[in-house]
Structure 1
């Protein structure tokens, strides 16, 4: 399976903004963008803004930004776009909803992981259950009514023992997820909106890119 090999901090520098790919570290002075704000490459220091970029270039940047945030490659991203492009509704909003409803992203939103890459690893290792069944496919689409929980055979791992204490004090759950702190279960209660995603990008540019 394909995966990103470029360092996470370089992806943020290339986007010229924080994408929060390393969880809590991104909010500290250790953030790669704070320590080195220039774009990667020989001529990176000479590029400090997005001025002079063509419309196509802006569309490409919007697409690349979303791909980096969710940590998926072109083939998978295009597949998600093709899934929603003929559905009734606003294509851009439908695309963001599909990305938010990926199992790895839902695990991240529930706070079972501090980053999407960590969430993907947790799912890959079979540590997550959906409606009582083990699912190890990060791109699996959860839907309203689905319950996401920790594999009961894995709850004794030190990671989850510590996590249960941390989650008792968590309050920043998205509107589309209801979290049961006693059972450590997250339930999908709504379809996530563009506002829920918190992604600062013109999603219409992505639609226009694929509609060329």
Structure 2
């Protein structure tokens, strides 16, 4: 509800702000939001969803603009390909923040090698798995019993094997795979002004 819409990253859809009773405003609403305001709001929404600081987000926008193809789709592909997001999308973390922490603590391997950098970009053909040491821990046992995480829909560009605690990247992330609509065109326009 922070940006006028629900941004909770929990797959169950439950959000503490949803239960909060909203008051009807008895005053006249303010002026229509400017183009700049709309673009800024969209950029902030994307940053909040993925948990990325401004400087790093700006770097992703620059990289997406230099890549071949549509800059907005490239940006979305970069954000979705982050290891912390892939761990979340595979159902190994309740939220992107928890997934980020799990990656930082070294619980995941990419192609058999330990990776503890949440911003690590996975590619088509990469295998993401929980390390053997982490599979023996209590954390993994409670994760594997969690119904909320079992029921999470895995996007088409990922293949999950929750029984073995692994997943494969089988395609490039597409705009249709987004759970929350982000208008990347507005984000690219915001940065092109600066």
Query: What's the TM-score, normalizing by structure 1?
Result: 0.82
Q: Which residue of 2 aligns with 1:27?
A: 14
Shift of 1:200: 1.3
Q: 2:124 aligned with 1:137, yes or no?
A: no
Counterpart residue number, 1:9: none
1:169/1:203 CA distance change after superposition, 3 Å: closer
Q: 2:4 aligns with which of 8, 16, 27?
A: 16
Q: Summarize the Cα distance change of 1:50–1:91 in structure 2 as closer, same or farther, 3 Å threshold.
A: farther
Deviation at 1:181, TM superposition (A): 3.2
Q: For 1:63-212, what aligned pairs fall within 5 Å after superposition?
A: 63-166=43-146, 169-170=150-151, 172-212=153-193
- Deviation per CA, 1:128-185, whole angstroms, max 9, x where unpaired? 1101111010000000000000011111111201223447954611101111233221
Structure 1: gaps (5+ residues): 1-11, 39-44
CA distance in 2, matches of 1:146, 1:19: 29
Is the contact between residue 178 and residue 188 of structure 1 (CA under 8 Å) also seen in structure 2?
yes
Contact 2:158 2:170 in 1 (8 A): yes
Superposed CA deviations along residues 86-128 of structure 1, whole A, max 9, x for unmatched, are 1111110110010000000000000000100000000010111
> Which whole-Å CA distance do the structure 2 matches of 1:193 and 1:171 have between them?
18
- The answer to whether the 8 Å contact 2:91/2:150 transfers is no
- Unaligned regions of 5+ residues in structure 2, if any? none
Q: SS of the residue aligned with 1:18? A: coil
How many corresponding residue pairs? 191
Per-residue deviation, 1:33 = 4.0
Equivalents in 2 of 1:126, 1:94: separation in Å? 28
Which runs of structure 2 are paired with 1:32-43 in the superposition (5 Å)?
A: 32-37=17-22
Partner of 1:175, secondary structure, is: coil
Q: Distance in 1 between matches of 2:123 and 2:162?
A: 21
Moved over 4 A (4+): 45-51, 166-169
The offset of 1:82, in angstroms, is 1.2
